Homo-oligomer: A and B are copies of this chain.
Amino acid sequence: MPTLSEVARHAGVTPATVSNVLRHRGRVGETTRQRVLDAVETLGYRPHLAARALAEGRAPTLALMVSSIANPFYPEFALAVERAARTSGHFVIICNTNEDPLTGRAYLDQIAGTLSEGVLVTNANLDFADLHTTEARGTPVVLCMWERPSEPPGLPCVAVDFRLAGELAGTHLLELGHRRMGAIVGSKASGIHATRYEGFVDALRAAGVAKNRVRHAVDTIRGGYLAARALLEADPQLTAIFATNDLPALGAMHAAADLGLCVPDDLSVVGITDIELARESRPALTTVAVPTVEAAGLAVDLLRELIESSYGQAGRGTKHVPMRISSAPRLVVRASTAVPRARRKAAANAGRTENLE
């Protein structure tokens, strides 16, 4: 496609004049105006995505709504989405809602169906009514990482079996011989991590381990740090901590370090997701990897299909709501989990808590 500068050169005017003509702004004589429009036609210049979007009723971008760009999972997922989208020439624009449903609605109102012909949603903290409204306007919506394949959300989605992820983490710790475990459950507000914790508890129950300590935490390294300290203060005999996400698991490792505990000898730590930091940390984090790249590809494929089939145009109730299920999460054993050994005397020492900050 020719550039605006080439149009300007062809018409013998400045780029600013071309811009003014195309935007119906500024004072441009009729002869000049016509020369510009002739150049646009001759060169096949497409002046505005917006004009094209209006003419065709579609725009060539996909919007990716993420709930927290500060959480490194989302940039990694965004990269995978971009790679998948690029195969059909789509560009991805990333909209960060900061876990605020109202911000999410504002993005949907402004972007869906005008700037973007489809919307990918990575998390469940948008208001479902807003997503249905977007769909009703004719813009397909796909939920990218639905956590409960057994309970379809009523919107097209790619589901990942996160209950299984929790179960695999629990089974791993049990097989190593851990019986006294703590759990850190992230994202209390949205509740989406509850499924992961259920899987963990199921594994323990099946092995006859009746209970574990649990703390809810903000889904960050800092959140996991504070929760792990609280768990270890409440029960210094814990030999393992399961976190429903890698970030709080990394925080738990930092808490262990600050308490003078060696990971994994004094304390095993396991997370879920397998973000890059899990591989890059020291010790490297044992985690249950979810198929991020695959889920991103499935989500983009599904969204493209819905766009092509004008899925959003069909009335509600008359259409089948598709759900694609990713391959299963799998355990990745690294250096943060091991067979429990008797905790050092210092750890059992009643005076230990005096060392806490």
Contacts and interface: CB of A to CB of B under 8 A. Distances in A.
B110 A91 contact: yes
Chain A to chain B: the 7 pairs with minimum beta-carbon distance, closest first: A15-B136, A94-B94, A50-B50, A23-B57, A50-B114, A93-B93, A19-B138
A79 B70 contact: yes
Interface in A126-178: 133, 136-138
A220 to B, nearest CB: 9
Given A48-B54, A50-B50, A313-B26, A94 B69 contact: yes
A221 interface: yes
Interface in A106-127: 106-107, 109-111, 113-115
Interface of A: 1, 3-5, 14-16, 18-20, 23-26, 48-51, 53-54, 57, 59-61, 69-70, 72, 74-76, 78-79, 82, 91-96, 98, 106-107, 109-111, 113-115, 133, 136-138, 221-222, 250-251, 253-254, 257-258, 276-277, 280, 282, 312-315
A114 B54 contact: no
A174 to B, nearest CB: 28
29 contacts: A4-B136, A14-B136, A15-B137, A16-B136, A18-B137, A19-B113, A19-B137, A19-B138, A20-B313, A23-B138, A25-B313, A49-B110, A49-B114, A49-B115, A50-B50, A50-B53, A61-B110, A69-B79, A70-B76, A70-B276, A72-B75, A78-B96, A82-B98, A91-B110, A92-B96, A93-B94, A94-B94, A94-B96, A254-B282
Nearest to A253: B282
A117 B151 CA distance: 42
Given A25-B57, A51-B54, A254-B282, A5 B133 contact: yes
A316 B91 CA distance: 30
Nearest to A59: B50
A14 B91 contact: no
Given A16-B313, A79-B70, A1 B137 contact: no
Nearest to A254: B282
Contact of A138 (B1, B16, B53, B258): B16
A111 to B, nearest CB: 7
A281 B346 CA distance: 24
Q: Which of A3, A96, A258 has the most CB atoms of chain B within a 10 A radius of its CB?
A: A96
Q: Which of A74, A94, A106 has the most CB atoms of chain B within a 10 A radius of its CB?
A: A94
Contacts of A115: 49-50, 61, 93, 115
A91 B95 contact: yes
Contacts of A133: 3-5, 15
Given A5-B136, A26-B313, A137-B19, A96 B79 contact: yes
A16 B315 contact: yes
A250 B279 CA distance: 13
Contacts of A136: 4-5, 14-16, 19
A60 B110 contact: yes
Contact of A75 (B16, B70, B253, B315): B70
Nearest to A106: B91
